[in-house]
Amino acid sequence: MNIGKKIKRLRQLNNLTQQELADRSELSKGYISQLEKNIASPSIATLMDLLQCLGTDLKEFFSQDEDYQVVFTANDMFENENEENKSLVKWLVPNCKKYTMEPIIMILQPGGVSKKDEPHSGEEFGYVLDGTVDIHLGSTVHKARKGNSFYYDASLPHYISNSGKRPAKILWISSPPNF
C-alpha cells in the first residue's frame, strides 16, 4: 500500500491544501509533503491524528477500496436538532467529509433557520420535499415551494429560512461537504 498516495488522495477529496492539513494536524507543510511523497513515514499516533483531520480512521484507511459502502441504512444516519434555530439536520451518509458531496435532510419548523454560512468554494443544491423555504443569497431572497429545487454557487453568504406556518423539509446537497 502506498500510504503517502492515499493520504494525498484523502487530502484532495477534502479540498484541503497541504498547509491547511498541516495546520489542522499541528504538523508542518514540509512534513505533509514528505509523507505524500513517501519520503517520511508517520508514527501510528501521527497517522491517527491525520486521519481524524481527514474524516476517517485506521480501519477505513487500511481497508481495500472495493470494500467501500454503497448503500446506507437508517442505522448509518445521524441527526442533530437545534432548538434555538428550530432546525433538525439528518446526515444521510456518515463521514461525508471524505467524499465530494454531502447530502442531508433538513427540517425547519416555522420561523426556523439553517446555519448561516459564510462564502466558500463549492455549490449547493436542494429539493423542497414539503413546505416553503426562503433561500437567502447575499442580500437576495428566493422562495421555493414543495416540488421546487434550488441550486447556487456558494460564493455569497447564504442560509435557508422557513417563514411559513408549517414545517419545511428539504433534501440539501453541498459540494464540497460543508454541513
Q: Indicate if 61 and 82 belong to the same structural domain.
A: no
Of 18, 34, 67, the one marking the end of a domain is: 67
> What CATH number did the domain enclosing 54 receive?
1.10.260.40
Q: Indicate if 48 and 92 belong to the same structural domain.
A: no
> What CATH number did the domain enclosing 93 receive?
2.60.120.10
Q: Indicate if 91 and 135 belong to the same structural domain.
A: yes
- The helix/strand/coil state of 156 is coil
* Residue 6 to residues 38, 49, 51, 78, 179, Cα–Cα distance (Å): 10, 15, 11, 27, 24
Q: What's the structural domain count of the chain? A: 2
Residue 47 is classified by DSSP as: H
Let me know the angle formed at the C-alpha of 14 by 41 and 7, rounded to the nearest 5 degrees.
15
- pLDDT tens figures, 63-87: 765 456 788 888 888 899 999 999 9
- Please tell me the predicted confidence (pLDDT) of residue 68: 65
> Residue 132 sits in which domain range?
78-175
Rounded mean pLDDT of 129-144? 97
Nearest CA to 30 among 11, 39, 43, 3? 39
- Please tell me the predicted confidence (pLDDT) of residue 65: 55
Nearest CA to 132 among 149, 115, 144? 144
In this structure, what C-alpha cell is assigned to residue 29?
A: 507543510
- Please tell me the predicted confidence (pLDDT) of residue 145: 97
Q: Indicate if 47 and 97 belong to the same structural domain.
A: no
Fill in the amino acid letter for 66: E
In a domain, 73, yes or no: no
Residue 63 is classified by DSSP as: S
Measured from the Cβ of residue 177, the count of other Cβ atoms closer than 10 Å reads: 23
- Please tell me the predicted confidence (pLDDT) of residue 63: 79
Residue 122 is classified by DSSP as: S
**β-sheet with 132-137: strand ranges across:** 140-145, 132-137, 158-161
